[in-house]
Amino acid sequence: METFPTQYNDVMAEQPLATRTEFIKKTYWHLSGAIAAFAFLEILLQKLGLGEASLQIIGTSRFSWLIVLAGFMFVSWIANSWAQNSTSLTTQYLGLGIYVVAQAVIFLPLIAMAKAMDPNIIGQAATVTLALVLAITTVAFTLKKDFSFLGGFLRMAGFLAIGVVIASFFLPITLGFWFSAAMVLFAGGCVLYDTSNIMYHYRPNQHVAASLSLFASVALMFWYILRMFMNRDWSNPFPRRMFCASPLASEQNWSIVSPHYEQHPENHCLPQNLLRMERRRKSHHAQIRPRLWRKGHHQEPCVPLGNGTT
């Protein structure tokens, strides 16, 4: 999401129809290429085992993920600055490429957790994201309204969201389903704002920067839609997956705990919300097991890790 100075008189709103059409085509072709490159990199990195490795790394300390987010924001700022460079097309493409790689890396632990729960939800989340982006884009191009007035509100909402995420590392709060839903709405507003800027406020030589900004909004929406799918109350519990946990987990997710923690809980620094979730699961499991056996159930119950309800 970018802001634009008003002194330029060569913005898209001042261009002839042919120039605007060509700019929009270039922007969305670059967006498609960025999404395809992101998908390819994510699949490749997951096949190399870097998804599970990323979970182990960020599970070693409660602040590991905060450090990763800070690094991602720094790299994103550099990439966006390069993409905004109007004098060097090579620098613009380099910025877009760096940002795509950074997004692929930041998605590693989330995709690894989603694969462990149910690989199908990744495709489902991608489909919902694509449908929402197409719907918002259609609305923007149909109404032909300048939504740049949303910029101030979106910036304040973005700072507030960052503050809440940072606070979750220090306070006993969990960013669950409803926070993800709110962030999907925020991402939808960013897509609408970026689409409006593509129509009216970018300059003809900024199609790379426009595609980067829109790709960032689409990636943000995909991230939180995938989290919403992961936080659903599944009707058929999956077996517990035994690899290191991540602060991306929420209380609606299933137990994802490393064997090292179960063997040496005193030496393992997992996020506090996961430790509470695991203790709650064991306590609830111990309570319902005698009742199930008295009723004639002879199979070990598989209890979802949640809020203590069946």
Residue 235 lies in a domain: no
> What pLDDT digit, counting tens, does each position of 122-145 carry?
999 999 999 999 999 999 999 888
Residue 252 lies in a domain: no
Residue 308 lies in a domain: no
Q: What is the pLDDT of residue 7?
A: 46
> What pLDDT digit, counting tens, does each position of 58-94 carry?
777 777 777 778 888 888 888 878 877 666 788 889 8
Residue 263 lies in a domain: no
Smallest Cα–Cα separation from 104: which of 54, 165, 58, 169? 54
If you compute the radius of gyration of the chain from its CA atoms, what whole number of angstroms results? 22
Residue 97 lies in a domain: yes
104 or 57, which is more confident? Answer: 104
Per the structure, the count of domains in the chain is 1
Longest CA span, the chain: 79
pLDDT at 236 over 50: no
Q: What is the mean pLDDT of residues 291-299?
A: 47
Residue 93 lies in a domain: yes
Residue 47 lies in a domain: yes
Residues 6+ apart with CB under 8 A from 184: 132, 221, 224, 225, 228
> What pLDDT digit, counting tens, does each position of 10-37 carry?
777 778 888 889 999 999 999 999 999 9
Q: What is the pLDDT of residue 129?
A: 96
Range of the domain at 20: 12-230
Q: What is the pLDDT of residue 42?
A: 95
Residue 54 lies in a domain: yes
Q: What is the pLDDT of residue 282?
A: 55
Lowest model confidence (mean pLDDT) among 45-49, 95-99, 203-207: 203-207
